[in-house]
Structure 1
């Protein structure tokens, strides 16, 4: 994202809000990645598998995009790869939003999914989900940023210019598309949860980071809070838009841990271990790498629940509970 969008001012850091410091966290705490998840050896994976207690099919959750053909192109290699390893059907469940994925996991209809960092906290609390992997383009970069984007001719130069403007967030439970941008506004402008929405003339949830990007490109809103790497992944699809070259960043958050892949702890242990192993070794499979490339990753690295304590701290600082987000 940063190589495409223009930045405002001498230093974007001057516009950043110290979310992590305000919540008692540190950059180190956001990048705590562990390989302690149990991984079966290659020999174990190749042996006959005891499927006692396994579901008839493994259901994996995803969110919709603007283009269903892109979903098929992205996830078909994953389906083929996982079915070959598990020996059972690997089905995709398209949820309308993160809450739909969380509820599906809580009710036993969903077995694993990718989540944003904040929605993962809810999935862990409500759906007995456990983080096990994190998709990264560079294995040494396990964080990303929330950013505010607008168009050059909007007249907006910083967060100080947003009073009375229109804003789009991605999803109520989105870490970088709602929670952190809202926290940035609260901290930078001296607002609180009761007054932050009233600072704008119009507030909407677009449903996804891509939809928020289109809201900016099409002039539907003045500013949007989105994830930098999420938007970067769809640039090829939007670079011909007439307003593409007018996009710019006016504020950026401190580093956020990337969203994890999470699996239901209600599943049999050997099934969980096999899925975890498959994700961690995906970069070694020539066909599965097509899924990684379409997702903007080079590999899935191990992750564990404690890496997301900073998200819990941020939620507490913003007085946002699981109950608030699941209403």
Structure 2
């Protein structure tokens, strides 16, 4: 896999935030992308208490056609493993995914670390897997990016500038970068937004990246691996080679795959096993690689206690973030 940070040939200012390690509501929208609806299984599993279809949540990207193509191998693999229809639910943000799970319309989803904490509290979600490139990549970083000609060299230069965050419940796209600014500049939650001329939420890390490339804002908080995943889609942008990183966070635990614990235990076990064995299926392995992973390693709720501690330290409640 190409490593997107190879094109950022500049020095990165590492910003230490000792007490933090934290990624990544509004109106709910959804689209369904569905594979085969007639799937039969002969594995002897009793499916009488299973739903007719399993619904898995994802966030949108700039290219919905590309999103559908990317997930086709996963849909086929999961339908073959579960023996029931597997459907994608595209929520417009993390809050849409959390609310859909809370209301029983969504059975599992990938979350950012902070949004997982909210999903655990509000929707009875439980972490079970984490997508990784290798066994040493269970963490990632939040970065501040800008263009070389922006005149911004460090967090000290942010006053009066314009900034894009990804999603209110995104750790690396909002919580962590906002905490970095607060900690570095001695601001508070009440004053940090006033430090900027304009603050916006783009909806995703990719959208924040385009906000920089297209000149909509001067700086954005994004995760490093998120840019790596969309590298091939953005590398031809005329300003792509002008991107630079001005600050980087301490390591953040990657967001998990989480499943609704209200589901029958036999279904939960089948889904969890299917994720952990995805690397062994040739077609599903293609999906993993395109998503920037080589495997789904086991994960559990305790891994995200540091996110809860971060939110508490920043006095960021679920209610505040999801308004």
Give the TM-score, by structure 2 length: 0.91
| 1:70-94 Cα shifts (integer Å, max 9, x gaps) | 1012111110000001110000000
2:317 equivalent to 1:321 = yes
Q: Distance in 2 between matches of 1:326 and 1:248?
A: 30
Runs of 4+ in 1 over 3 A off after TM superposition: none
**1:36 alignment counterpart:** none
TM-score after normalising by structure 1: 0.90
Question: Where in structure 1 are there 5+ consecutive unaligned residues?
Answer: 27-44
What is the aligned counterpart of 2:57 among 58, 61, 66? 61
| Equivalent residues in 2 for 1:1-327, closer than 5 Å | 1-8=4-11, 12-13=13-14, 16-18=15-17, 21-23=18-20, 47-327=43-323
1:120-179 alpha-carbon deviations (Å, 9 max, x no partner): 000000000000000011122100000000000001110000000000000010110000
Q: Is the deviation greater in 262-271 or in 45-54?
A: 45-54
Distance in 1 of aligned mates of 2:49 and 2:223: 38
Render the CA deviation track for 1:15-51: whole Å, top value 9, x for unaligned: x132xx225x79xxxxxxxxxxxxxxxxxx9731111
For 2:56 and 2:308, locate their aligned partners in 1 and report how far apart those are by CA, in whole Å. 25
RMSD (Å), alpha carbons: 1.4
Structure-1 residue corresponding to 2:26: none
| C-alpha distance after superposition, 1:248-306 (max 9, x if no partner) | 00000000000000000000001000000000010011110111011110110000000
How many residue pairs match? The answer is 302
Change (3 A) 1:46 1:321: farther
Work out the CA distance in 1 between the residues paired with 2:215 and 2:286.
34
Partners of 1:4 and 1:266 in 2: how far apart? Answer: 45
Unaligned runs of 5+ in 2: 23-40
For 2:282, what is the secondary structure of its paired residue?
coil
Residue pair 2:13, 2:154 contacting (<8 A) in 1 also: no
